[in-house]
Every structure is written in structure tokens, then in C-alpha cells.
Chain A
Amino acid sequence: MAIEKILKDDASEEKGERARMASFVGAIAITDLVKTTLGPKGMDKILQSTGRGHEVTVTNDGATILKSLHIDNPAAKVLIDISKVQDDEVGDGTTSVVVLAGELLREAEKLVAAKIHPVTIISVYNNVCLFYRLRMASECARNALLQRVVDNKENAGYAFILYYLPNVLGFDKEHFAQLAVDAVMRLKGSTNLEAIQIIKKPGGSLKDSFLDEGFILDKKIGLGQPKRIENAKILVANTAMDTDKVKIYGARVRVDSMSKVAEIEGAEKEKMREKVKKIMAHGINCFVNRQLIYNFPEELFADASILAIEHADFDGIERLALVTGGEIASTFDNPESVKLGHCKLIEEIMIGEDKLIHFSGVEMGQACTVVLRGASHHVLDEAERSLHDALCVLSQTVNDTRVLLGGGWPEMVMAKEVDELARKTPGKKSHAIEAFSRALVAIPTIIADNAGLDSADLVAQLRAEHHKEGCNAGIDVISGSVGDMAELGIAESFKVKQAVLLSAIEAAEMILRVDEIITCAPRKREDRM
């Protein structure tokens, strides 16, 4: 009798070995794809979108690359997902997490081929992971000392920014590191990166990028209004300044003669005039609105020599309210109780060829603006992404100041410990433990490979160094040799590293546990053509 068909026509089913192979292959392919972008000398990828215009992105940010891929393999989707989450949660380590998960799976594949049950591998991975985390935390304690040294030397995060800005910013790293540290220090412990505004203006070179203490709004000042105001009192508003229609449902104007139209128009104008008057009664000399300001009220503001800025975006408004200490107002009946924002100076400035409005001497020092300059849009986009990574890491580190050394140091230390554990463990579990340590060593190997160094030699050297107690050796990519990471001041955030490890193991576990893939028939697109 023929085998009964259970699934629908186009649905497919893969079982056992085949399913496992499909997911391993998918995961490893993704890993190989992003592998070359890891480390300070990682390479970039060009991504061309399929949309109109075939826009091109040049990046080496793992999350960005993976987000833009069209993937059909379910295991690969799991890896993309962890990378996305890593980006949302800590903002950095998006490539490392995928590479680590991929390497764990690559090792697991060998073990499965050697007839070790996946569930055994998972339980070992989990145990080792727990062990690893404990060790990492204790290493952190040891590094508390080191951290203090770093603190004294420079601003807290300066050291590892060097490590985290490997991308196009290569040549101007130090400049950018300073920029990012300054910006995060202004946040005073909050992780709300919204308060840091990044404005990109093509032109000039990356070196011309700067951090502005005040706030820059990418808007023009209305015609005939003052271009410079000192000791400004700012009202930040979100209100209709066009016609301000009657909101009661069903209301409409119905007239029977031209003269009445004129009367009503007059009344409307009168209403607007009143509104403007009310606004002016706040005693302000600058008015920023989220919505449009029509010509008529704008003219009124100009007459009263009040600076009116229209159509600022919502984020801009929120930030402005945050920096100037005012509140966002929508009604204007009680001027005495509305909190106004203050700043010392508002002026129009030029960056490149564009005019921007600059608020300086603001009350709350929390927000700031970073103006990025660069030769092309691609460079700017990439700079923004790198800066974003750096800011994320810094803001996380401000909260959790524990750091680890960089340059493959934590991987090597742990690999050594894990190896020792493997030697003590009887039974087949020791194979899986060894596999874990091999996966860890793969990371410094890839970093070295990407930098064009002799990875086998370097990693062997590292391993030898690490057999001494309390060693700080890691790969110094710049000089191409093994160096003391503590002296070089290369560090990584503990929190990022921990998140990388946990997510990578979770993902590897999920993929390992799979023994069957059932793919439903793809939903038919309706032919609209």
C-alpha cells in the first residue's frame, strides 16, 4: 500500500539526520557570512536592496547585515533573530553572538556524527556555560582593580571604545571615542539614548564631526523673525496652528451669502489671533511647534519679534522639552502654570551649506547633539551605526561597570579552564566539553585571520601564555602579535559578553534539539497584475 499523504501538496517534511543537517548547514552558512566582519580588522559587506533604486549599504555591523538578508532556512532565521535581540538589548556584539552560536553548532555537528546524542551535548553546553559565567564573574572581580587603573587614566569607557570602533572610523577612532564618552557622560547614568541626537551632514571629513553641548534642530527660522535671541524663553507646543478646526463631530459651515463667508472667515482669523495672543501672553520669545504654522500666525509672531519654528518632528520636540526643561503644551489658557524652557542663546548656524538652529546654554545638560560629517551617505550611515554601538556599550557599562579584557582574552582564559574540566570529566561528556572549548578558541582565531595574521601561530602562542597564572595576554591586532591587554587598555563590557554567551547557547540549544522540519506550503500570492 502506498504511503498515505498527510500534509498538503506543497508542504514538505524533513526528518532525522536530514533535518539536522539542513539546520546545521543553514546556521554555519550564516556564520561564515558574517565571520569576516568580526574584530577590529573585519571587512565590510555591500548590501543592495531589492527595492526601488537598489539602495546600497556598506556596513560591517552584524545585525544590519543579517536584517537585510532574505533567508529561507529556519535555523538561519534563529541566528538572525538572536542577533537582532542582541542589538536591541545591549546594542553590540551582534556579530560575535552569531559566530559563537555557529561555532558551537559546527563542533556539535562533529559530535553528532560521532554518535553522541544531541541532548547530551546540550546538557553539557549548559553546564559549561554556567561554569563559564561563574568564572567570568570572578575574573571581573579581579579586574575591578584594573578597572580603577583605567578610570584614573582616562574617562571610564575610553579604553574600550578603541576596541569597539573598528569600522570605517578606523583612522579617527580616538576622536570618536572621546565623542561617545562625552555624550554618554552627559546622560548621567540613564540608558535613554534618545537624548543623544545624531545629525548627519554630508561634506567635510569624519574628523570634522563634533559633539555639541546644546541642541541643534534641523529647521529654518521663519522669515522676518529674529535670527539670534539671547536669554530665550521657549514654549514647546503641540497644537494646530493652521486653521484650528472645530473638533465637535458633524459640525460644518453652511452659509447663504458671500458676506457671511467673509464674517466667518473674520471670526476664524480672530480666533487664531486670540490663540497667538494667548501664546504670547506666556512672555516668550521663542515658540516651537510640532505641527505646521500657517503664514498668518507666523506673521503675527514675526510682528511681535518672536521666533517661531514649525514642524519639528516629535522626537525633536521631546528632546527639546527635555533639554530646555519646558513642558509640551497644547492649551494656552493659564500662562502662569505652564513651565517654559530656557536657554542662553538661540542662533542660526551653518553646517556645510545647511542652516540649522542651535540652542546653547540649555538648562538641563542631559541631551546633546552629535554632528557627523563625512564624505558620503554611506560613510555617514556606517559612522552612525558604529557610534550607536559605542553609545550602547558605554551606557550599559556606566550602569554595570564590570569589564573584561579584550582581544580574545576571556575566550582563551575560559578555554583553558574548560579544557581542564574536560580532563576531569569521565565519559563521553568530556568530548562535548572539549568541543565547547574549541568553539571558544575559534573566536580569537577568526579575529586573527581577519587581520591577516598567522592565526595558528598566534593562538598557539596565546595558549602558551595563558598557562601562566594571571596572564593578561590577548591578540594585539595593530602590531600583529600577542600583547598585554591591560597595558594596551583594550577592554570589553562584561554585560555584553555575558549576553553574547547566553544567547549563543540558547540558540545553539534550540537548533540542536530539532529533529524534524515541517515546512508549510508558502501562501499563494494573489496575482494582481
Chain B
Amino acid sequence: MALAFDEYGRPFIILKEQDQKTRLRGIDAQKANISAGKAVARILRTSLGPKGMDKILQSPDGNVTITNDGATILEQMDVDNQIAKLMVELSRSQDYEIGDGTTGVVVMAGALLEQAERLLERGIHPIRIAEGYEMASRIAVEHLEHISQKFDFGASNIEPLVQTCMTTLSSKIVNRCKRHLAEISVKAVLSVADLERKDVNLDMIKVEGKVGGKLEDTELIYGITVDKDMSHPQMPKQIEDAKIAILTCPFEPPKPKTKHKVDIDTVEKFQTLRLQEQKYFDDMVQKCKDVGATLVICQWGFDDEANHLLMHRNLPAVRWVGGVELELIAIATGGRIVPRFQELTPEKLGRAGLVREKSFGTTKDKMLYIEHCANSRAVTIFIRGGNKMMIEETKRSIHDALCVARNLIRNNSIVYGGGSAEISCSIAVEAAADKYPGVEQYAVRAFADALDSVPMALAENSGLQPIETLSAVKSQQIKENNPHYGIDCNDVGTNDMREQDVFETLIGKQQQILLATQVVKMILKIDDVISPSDY
């Protein structure tokens, strides 16, 4: 294969060291790729929906993660196969772009691949399949736009937002108090959102967790928490109307960056140096005091002497605060980060209504709460839970909920969930298929079948008869011309998703279909896999 002969019959090598590589070509390559992609989708399939199951993932270091977030599962899965890695990428890009629906997108892609395999067996050229998929996805996206609905919310009317977040959270382990968490997420997003520009900076929301307590104790803090305590145990634990100096320079003698030496060769020099050193500490503390600061937050450590001087002058201080936290504090309190003591001025101080230290449990765990900040835009979601894995999973769930709320603020169109949107699209695509002359018709029809697989998986996971349920819902949708019928996963009794208040964002759904189609197209176009063989 990789050996060719020139016109004189002499062999020459095209592919170097070919005995060390394995190579798959043509239909074999496509089939191998498809089966790899399907295998990944199969793993995630059972995690879909409100009754989806979790996975335990054990990392190389033995740490345990329990999650049903698609992106997290795939990221930690130690995947080796190239195509499987593509699927991992797919779910990751959905995570970055939308933040939710990471499982659904992989399941969708898996279903598309499965359908493609069947078409390949019938001898349809992969490119034609890809083109057909492309057309079908366009129809589906347009149809989604068509069935979507705008809904109104405002700072005072957050109920619709809460409902949407609840749909997201219902598939997670935090199901038990989804209402509480959804409200927290929505309030957090609204307090940092810029409703006029329709933009939300999620960096302003800090999600912190601490083990202990129960999930219901999770709270939203209008301010910042820092996992640090006061530098000196005898400093006051609570400060009202704090004026905060935010420093990035240590309370230590200066360390000039240019190389230098101070030589001590006489007693006088020794003594002047000593006096200077003392004065230096004194000056530093005095500077902070002079500008009227009542709390010092510093990125670096303090010398013992400085620490005592601070204590002595009644100036509480916090040391070793991380860079990111420092920035958040600066934003929240409206202060400026000051790199030198000389540049400290009263205008650069941040303001907070209340700073307090709070201790947890029986061990010496303490945290610093900075509340009632001048600029209340930065908020913290503080999660409590029974164990570490629970907290981690809650963090991921909250992240999803935050993203959903953000997407709704950017674009307030929604589609109904519970697989209803997919079923409706499937009907539309199926109907459109007949209009295409040529081979693409088959691909478009296959796309419609693939769309059905999402509600099918939902029904399967909820312990319903998948085919029976799906066909019932489908016929109901066509008969009543109502795209709101979906799978009744929670056994509520109705499958009108509007009554159940289950909805998802339009852009999330659209993105799912587009991304899944793109990846499948990419996989279909591969006809040669060259990889180094095992050594």
C-alpha cells in the first residue's frame, strides 16, 4: 500500500516506517470511527434526563468524582481513541458556549452516527450523507426558531427564570432542593447582569463550597467570602463600615529587583540600618492608617513585627489572599489594588458595610465574609453539603443553572423540554425530506430518526416503554398540532410540557443540533486513519 514502484520497477517508500504504523482505509475506517463515537455516546446515554444515573470516575490518583454532567464525565475519562476525543471536544465546546446540554449533544451525535452507519451499508457516499445532514440540521434549527416562544421576566418577575433553572437542575443529584438552588442561581445572575446590554459576566459570581451542614443551608451572599482569617488572633472579628486597603505589596522590607549589596563594616552603619528597618515598618503601617483604612487585605505575608504593629494600631489585616479573590474584592468594594504603600490614597480604598469572620464546625475552619459592598455586583454562592463529592457535583450543577439563566438573559426565547422540541423537529424534518430529490432524501430522513433518539433515551431512563411512549407522543403532536408534548419523565400524569413548566433555552437546543451535526460531518469525511501501532 504505502510502497510504490517507479517506472523502472524499483520500489520506493511513501509512508515512513510503515511497519510501525497501523492503517485503516475506506469503509473500514469509517465504520471503526463510527463505532468509537457510538461507544462514547452509549456511556452518556443513561445519564440523560431527570432520572438519569450518575457515573463514578476514579482519577489516576485515586480521587473519586461522582457526576452526571456529560462534559465532566468525558473530560475525566482517560480517553485514548482519536474519534472518542473528538466527542469529548464536542461536549466541551457545548459546555463553553452554552454551559448546559452537554450530555444531550453527545447522545445526539451518537444517534446521527448510528443512522449514518446504516446509510453507508446501503452504499450511500459519506459526503452525500454529510450534505443531507447539513440540510436537515438547517431545517431543524429553523423549525426550533418557529416553535420557540419569548417569555418575559424582569428583576421583579423571576419565576420563569427559576422554572428554567429547575429543569436544568432536575437531572442532577441536587434534585431534592432544586427550587432553593434555582432561586439562588437566578438571583445571583440577576444581581450581576447588565439587563440593558443583555450581558452577564459570570466571573462576578464566585461559587465556594465547604463540606458539612446540609444542602439546604446553601446560601447566596451579596458580597465575597475569603477562605482566610485575620492575621493576628486577637484582631477584631467584625468590622462595620470597613474601609479596605487592598495591597499587593508585602509588609516586609523592600526587596529591590536590581542586584545589590549593603555592606556593613562599621558599628554606625549597623545601627543606622537597624533604625531604618524599624522606621520602615512603622511607615508602612502609618501610611495605611493615615489614609483612613480600617482593614488591610494583602496578597503577601507579614513580618511578625509588622503584624504586631498592625494589631497595635488597631488595624485588622488579612494576609495571603489569592490574586483572583483580591480582584473580586476590589470590584465588589469599589477599591483599587495598590501595589505600593506610597500610592495609597483615600480614594483607592474599598468600602464594605460589614466584614466578619465566621467559624464552622469543630475544627478551626474560619472564613471571612465581606458584605454590603459599595458595588454589590459581585456575589458568592456558598454551598454546603454532606461530603466532598456532593459539593463538587453541586458546584457543577450550579454552574449549569447559572449558564442557563445567563443564556435566557441574552436571548429570552425558549423551547419546551422533555424531548418535545426534538420530536417536533423530527416531524418537521421528516415532512421536509420528501421534497428533496436524490440520495440526500435518505440522509434527511435518517436525521429525523436520529432526533427521535433523545426522547427515546429520556423514556428509557425513566423506566417507560421507549418505542410505545415515543410513538404515542408523536402521534399526539401531529394530531393536535401542538409541539408542547414531551416525555412525562417524572410521572406527573400529563405530557404537556407547558403545564409541567419544563423548558430549555432556544440557543442551547440550536447549538446542540448544530454542533452535533458538525462533528458527525467531520467524522464521516475521514477515510484514512494512520496511527502508530502499539509498541
Name A residues whose Cβ lies closer than 8 Å to a Cβ of B: 1, 3-9, 11, 13, 19, 23, 72, 74-75, 77-78, 81-82, 85, 87-91, 117-120, 126, 191-194, 238-240, 246-256, 260, 263-264, 266-268, 271, 318, 321-322, 327-331, 333-334, 337-338, 392, 395-396, 499, 502-503, 506-507, 509-510, 513-523
Q: List 24 A-B contacts (CB under 8 A).
A: A3-B35, A6-B80, A6-B84, A8-B79, A85-B387, A87-B362, A126-B176, A191-B362, A240-B304, A246-B277, A250-B259, A252-B261, A253-B264, A264-B270, A267-B271, A268-B270, A328-B311, A510-B173, A510-B390, A513-B173, A514-B56, A518-B76, A520-B60, A522-B62
Q: Determine if B212 and A88 form an interchain contact, defined as CB atoms under 8 angstroms apart.
A: yes
Docked Cα-Cα span, A227 to B43, in Å, equals 74
Chain A residues contacting B43 (CB-CB under 8 Å) are 13, 516, 518
Closest to B232 in A: A328
Nearest Cβ on chain A to B341's Cβ, whole angstroms:
16
Chain A residues contacting B36 (CB-CB under 8 Å) are 4, 6
Nearest Cβ on chain B to A10's Cβ, whole angstroms:
9
- Tell which of B54, B58, B84, B266 touches A519, judged by Cβ atoms closer than 8 Å: B58
- Tell which of B40, B80, B274, B387 touches A506, judged by Cβ atoms closer than 8 Å: B387
Docked Cα-Cα span, A89 to B305, in Å, equals 35
Closest to A291 in B: B304
Q: Determine if A78 and B308 form an interchain contact, defined as CB atoms under 8 angstroms apart.
A: no
Q: Given A248-B262, A520-B59, are A81 and B77 neighbors across the interface (CB < 8 Å)?
A: no
Q: Is B94 positioned at the interface, with any CB of A under 8 Å from its CB? A: no
Q: Determine if A246 and B274 form an interchain contact, defined as CB atoms under 8 angstroms apart.
A: yes
Chain A residues contacting B281 (CB-CB under 8 Å) are 331
Chain B residues contacting A271 (CB-CB under 8 Å) are 271, 274
- Tell which of B57, B256, B264 touches A264, judged by Cβ atoms closer than 8 Å: B264
Closest to A237 in B: B308
Docked Cα-Cα span, A145 to B214, in Å, equals 28
Q: Determine if A77 and B463 form an interchain contact, defined as CB atoms under 8 angstroms apart.
A: no
Q: Given A72-B62, A520-B57, are A85 and B255 neighbors across the interface (CB < 8 Å)?
A: no
Q: Determine if B79 and A247 form an interchain contact, defined as CB atoms under 8 angstroms apart.
A: no
3 smallest A-B Cβ distances: which pairs? A330-B308, A89-B212, A515-B53
Q: Given A74-B56, A514-B55, A515-B46, are A250 and B262 neighbors across the interface (CB < 8 Å)?
A: yes
Nearest Cβ on chain A to B287's Cβ, whole angstroms:
17
Chain A residues contacting B262 (CB-CB under 8 Å) are 248, 250-252
Q: Determine if B60 and A81 form an interchain contact, defined as CB atoms under 8 angstroms apart.
A: no
Q: Determine if B233 and A81 form an interchain contact, defined as CB atoms under 8 angstroms apart.
A: no
Closest to A515 in B: B53
Nearest Cβ on chain A to B311's Cβ, whole angstroms:
7
Docked Cα-Cα span, A77 to B308, in Å, equals 44
Chain B residues contacting A268 (CB-CB under 8 Å) are 270
Chain B residues contacting A118 (CB-CB under 8 Å) are 53
Closest to A14 in B: B56
Nearest Cβ on chain A to B40's Cβ, whole angstroms:
6
Nearest Cβ on chain A to B38's Cβ, whole angstroms:
9
Q: Is B211 positioned at the interface, with any CB of A under 8 Å from its CB? A: yes
Closest to B534 in A: A9
Q: Determine if A248 and B273 form an interchain contact, defined as CB atoms under 8 angstroms apart.
A: yes
Q: Is B388 positioned at the interface, with any CB of A under 8 Å from its CB? A: yes
Q: Is B307 positioned at the interface, with any CB of A under 8 Å from its CB? A: yes
Chain A residues contacting B64 (CB-CB under 8 Å) are 74, 77-78
Chain A residues contacting B266 (CB-CB under 8 Å) are 260, 263
Nearest Cβ on chain B to A205's Cβ, whole angstroms:
28
From DSSP, what is the main secondary structure of chain A's interface residues? mixed
Q: Is B39 positioned at the interface, with any CB of A under 8 Å from its CB? A: yes
Q: Given A247-B303, A331-B309, A515-B55, are A6 and B40 neighbors across the interface (CB < 8 Å)?
A: yes
Q: Is B81 positioned at the interface, with any CB of A under 8 Å from its CB? A: yes
Q: Determine if A520 and B385 form an interchain contact, defined as CB atoms under 8 angstroms apart.
A: no
- Tell which of B211, B265, B308, B363 touches A255, judged by Cβ atoms closer than 8 Å: B265
Chain A residues contacting B51 (CB-CB under 8 Å) are 117, 119
Chain A residues contacting B212 (CB-CB under 8 Å) are 85, 88-89
Docked Cα-Cα span, A463 to B385, in Å, equals 33
Q: Is B263 positioned at the interface, with any CB of A under 8 Å from its CB? A: yes
Q: Is B252 positioned at the interface, with any CB of A under 8 Å from its CB? A: yes
Q: Given A89-B361, A126-B176, A263-B267, are A513 and B39 neighbors across the interface (CB < 8 Å)?
A: no
Interface size on B, residues (CB 8 A): 86
- Tell which of A11, A85, A514 touches B54, judged by Cβ atoms closer than 8 Å: A514
Docked Cα-Cα span, A117 to B76, in Å, equals 27
- Tell which of B76, B232, B277 touches A247, judged by Cβ atoms closer than 8 Å: B277
Q: Determine if A254 and B390 form an interchain contact, defined as CB atoms under 8 angstroms apart.
A: no
Name B residues whose Cβ lies closer than 8 Å to a Cβ of A: 31-32, 35-36, 39-40, 43, 46, 51, 53-62, 64, 66, 68, 73, 76-81, 84, 173, 176, 211-215, 232-234, 252-256, 259-267, 270-271, 273-274, 276-278, 280-281, 303-305, 307-309, 311-312, 359-365, 385-390, 393, 463
- Tell which of B265, B277, B309, B389 touches A78, judged by Cβ atoms closer than 8 Å: B389
Q: Determine if A510 and B54 form an interchain contact, defined as CB atoms under 8 angstroms apart.
A: yes
Q: Determine if A515 and B54 form an interchain contact, defined as CB atoms under 8 angstroms apart.
A: yes
Q: Determine if B277 and A517 form an interchain contact, defined as CB atoms under 8 angstroms apart.
A: no
Q: Determine if B56 and A75 form an interchain contact, defined as CB atoms under 8 angstroms apart.
A: yes
Q: Determine if B54 and A249 form an interchain contact, defined as CB atoms under 8 angstroms apart.
A: no
Which of A81, A192, A252 is packed against the most chain B CB atoms within 10 Å?
A81
Nearest Cβ on chain A to B212's Cβ, whole angstroms:
4
Q: Determine if B66 and A520 form an interchain contact, defined as CB atoms under 8 angstroms apart.
A: no
Q: Determine if B253 and A5 form an interchain contact, defined as CB atoms under 8 angstroms apart.
A: no
Closest to B390 in A: A506
Q: Determine if A507 and B387 form an interchain contact, defined as CB atoms under 8 angstroms apart.
A: yes
Nearest Cβ on chain B to A216's Cβ, whole angstroms:
20
Chain B residues contacting A328 (CB-CB under 8 Å) are 232-234, 308, 311
Q: Determine if B264 and A510 form an interchain contact, defined as CB atoms under 8 angstroms apart.
A: no
Q: Determine if A90 and B361 form an interchain contact, defined as CB atoms under 8 angstroms apart.
A: yes
Chain A residues contacting B311 (CB-CB under 8 Å) are 327-328
Chain B residues contacting A334 (CB-CB under 8 Å) are 312
Q: Determine if A7 and B53 form an interchain contact, defined as CB atoms under 8 angstroms apart.
A: no
Q: Determine if B267 and A266 form an interchain contact, defined as CB atoms under 8 angstroms apart.
A: yes
Nearest Cβ on chain A to B102's Cβ, whole angstroms:
16
Q: Determine if B390 and A518 form an interchain contact, defined as CB atoms under 8 angstroms apart.
A: no
- Tell which of A74, A238, A318, A392 touches B308, judged by Cβ atoms closer than 8 Å: A238
Q: Determine if A88 and B365 form an interchain contact, defined as CB atoms under 8 angstroms apart.
A: yes
Chain B residues contacting A322 (CB-CB under 8 Å) are 233
Q: Determine if A85 and B58 form an interchain contact, defined as CB atoms under 8 angstroms apart.
A: no
Which of A23, A120, A240, A267 is packed against the most chain B CB atoms within 10 Å?
A267
Docked Cα-Cα span, A9 to B64, in Å, equals 20
Q: Given A89-B212, A263-B267, are A510 and B304 neighbors across the interface (CB < 8 Å)?
A: no
Q: Determine if A256 and B265 form an interchain contact, defined as CB atoms under 8 angstroms apart.
A: yes
Q: Given A118-B53, A252-B263, A254-B265, are A247 and B361 neighbors across the interface (CB < 8 Å)?
A: no
Q: Determine if A82 and B386 form an interchain contact, defined as CB atoms under 8 angstroms apart.
A: yes
- Tell which of B60, B256, B263 touches A521, judged by Cβ atoms closer than 8 Å: B60
Docked Cα-Cα span, A85 to B254, in Å, equals 43
Q: Given A327-B234, A330-B304, are A89 and B32 neighbors across the interface (CB < 8 Å)?
A: no
Nearest Cβ on chain A to B388's Cβ, whole angstroms:
5
Q: Determine if B386 and A252 form an interchain contact, defined as CB atoms under 8 angstroms apart.
A: no
Docked Cα-Cα span, A111 to B263, in Å, equals 81
Docked Cα-Cα span, A250 to B253, in Å, equals 11
Sample of 11 further A-B pairs with CB below 8 A, known A74-B66, A85-B386, A89-B212: A89-B211, A90-B362, A91-B361, A120-B463, A191-B359, A238-B304, A264-B270, A322-B233, A328-B311, A514-B53, A518-B55
Docked Cα-Cα span, A210 to B274, in Å, equals 48
Q: Determine if A78 and B66 form an interchain contact, defined as CB atoms under 8 angstroms apart.
A: yes
Q: Determine if B58 and A1 form an interchain contact, defined as CB atoms under 8 angstroms apart.
A: no
Q: Determine if A520 and B78 form an interchain contact, defined as CB atoms under 8 angstroms apart.
A: yes
Chain B residues contacting A13 (CB-CB under 8 Å) are 43
Nearest Cβ on chain A to B122's Cβ, whole angstroms:
17
Q: Determine if A85 and B234 form an interchain contact, defined as CB atoms under 8 angstroms apart.
A: no
Docked Cα-Cα span, A515 to B360, in Å, equals 34
Chain B residues contacting A251 (CB-CB under 8 Å) are 261-262, 264, 273
Q: Determine if B232 and A518 form an interchain contact, defined as CB atoms under 8 angstroms apart.
A: no
Q: Determine if B60 and A331 form an interchain contact, defined as CB atoms under 8 angstroms apart.
A: no
